[in-house]
Amino acid sequence: MVQYPPSDLDAAFAALADGTRRGVLEQLGRGESSITDLAEQFHMTLTGMRKHVGVLEDAGLVVTEKVGRVRHCRISSRRLDEVSSWIDHYHQLWDERFSELDKVIETLKQKEQRDGRKQH
């Protein structure tokens, strides 16, 4: 098996694979939040939340800024736009393939109906 170096997209999908991190992104989609507030909302230790936020930050999905003693988090839309674009590309590809399959199925149904009428 060929190994490829990890890409930014790989890191983003790896980060998104965890339910807690997806929940953090959902929460941050509503507005900026401190790591302490996120830890409380998810009933986690501060250390545990720091690790989750660190993975999201390393993946480019979250940006943090320290203001005094508080570290604030917000979504970094650039990487999410890249992930969304990748998904949209494959969504369009599969839509086109399913549309072609629908045409084949419709043709076969019409042929079956015509052949069925001839047999009666």
> How high is the pLDDT of residue 38?
97
Q: Is residue 113 very low, low, confident or very high in pLDDT (cuts 50, 70, 90)? A: confident
Tens digit of each residue's pLDDT (9 = 90 or more) over 60-104: 999 999 999 999 999 998 888 888 888 888 888 888 999 999 999
Among all chains, which residue has been given the structure tokens 């736009």?
81
Range of 61's domain?
8-76
Does 101 fall in a domain? no
> How high is the pLDDT of residue 68?
93
Give the count of domains, the chain: 1
- The whole-model pTM stands at 0.72
Counting every residue, how long is the chain?
120
CATH number (domain holding residue 46): 1.10.10.10
Tens digit of each residue's pLDDT (9 = 90 or more) over 8-52: 888 999 999 999 999 999 999 999 999 999 999 999 999 999 999
Does 41 fall in a domain? yes
Question: Quick one: how many helices (H) and strands (E) in the chain?
Answer: 5, 3
pLDDT at 4 over 80: no
pLDDT at 2 over 70: no
What percent of the chain shows pLDDT beyond 90? 61
Rounded CA gap, 83 and 10, in Å?
10
Pairing of strands 70-75, 33-34: antiparallel
